[in-house]
Amino acid sequence: MEPNAFETVDGTPLTAVTAEEMAAVDRVATETVGLPLYSMMENAGRNLASVVRERRDERPVVVFAGGGGNGGGGFACARHLLNRDVPVTVVADRPASETTGAAGTQRRILESTDVAVRRDPPPLDGRLAVDALVGYGLTKALRGTAADLAAACNDADRVVSLDVPTGVNATTGAVPGVAVDADCTPTLALPKTGLGPNAGALLVADIGIPDSVYDRLKIPYEPPFDSYVVPVRRRDDGDW
């Protein structure tokens, strides 16, 4: 934990958390407070879609989705983009049968639309890629399909990563192998201690976690959200 490591434009301080601490936040939010995981995932996807719409400059969008929480946010993002007539293609890192839980629900809802979920990426020149492959749970170098798709993301004109760029250790910032080099990263709820140059412009997105969750975990917290997504920076980065 790094209290006051980040701040918003108006100077509101934000604590940065490790992957383990963020997992505790998610666990208390869902198991103790009763906030459904699906609700947090829906909020993540909606806010991610709003960031993509602001940054795409009419580019078609390709969403790269994994099978966990990040992937569920990616599937939700694709649906919100589709609902706003944004041209979107979705590339999944695994078959539908291997996408379970809340992420599987998000995928099934998306697949009820006319968006094709494919396994191989289209040409990415002239497109914006959404990296929703792997979140804060990364502990070692990417391998196999995840590594191939992370590398493919970097061929896009622009990349927006959800929470943490895929391939970056959320706690330490280490890049043990292939990693996405994002132009922008809307991180969820709180900044992660390992966010660094690979993240590009950094935002924090509200996913609906109540203050009481942070109180229970003794995480210093001052609500930063005058809108659902706010720009943030490390306090030692100099002027905005």
Contact (Cβ atoms closer than 8 angstroms) between residue 45 and residue 188: no
Confidence (pLDDT) at 238 = 67
pLDDT tens sequence across 19-52: 999 999 999 999 999 999 999 999 999 999 999 9
Confidence (pLDDT) at 18 = 98
Our CA angle for 63, 43, 199, nearest 5°, is 55
163 pLDDT higher than 70: yes
Which DSSP state fits 208? -
The whole-model pTM stands at: 0.95
Average pLDDT over residues 214-219: 98
pLDDT tens sequence across 76-88: 999 999 999 999 9
- Unique residue bearing structure tokens 């896009």: 156
- Burial classification of residue 173, based on how many CB atoms lie within 10 Å of its CB (0-12 exposed, 13-18 middle, 19 or more buried): middle
pLDDT tens sequence across 86-102: 999 999 999 999 999 99
Q: Which domains does the chain have, with CATH numbers?
A: 2-234 (3.40.50.10260)
What is d(CA 134, CA 64) in angstroms, rounded to the nearest whole number? Answer: 10
- For the chain, the residue count is 240
Confidence (pLDDT) at 236 = 83
pLDDT more than 90, % of the chain: 95
Helices (H), 83-201: 101-111, 144-153
Confidence (pLDDT) at 237 = 81
CB atoms within 10 A of CB 6: 26
Contact (Cβ atoms closer than 8 angstroms) between residue 25 and residue 10: no
Confidence (pLDDT) at 239 = 66
Q: Which two tokens stand for residue 82?
A: 């589709």
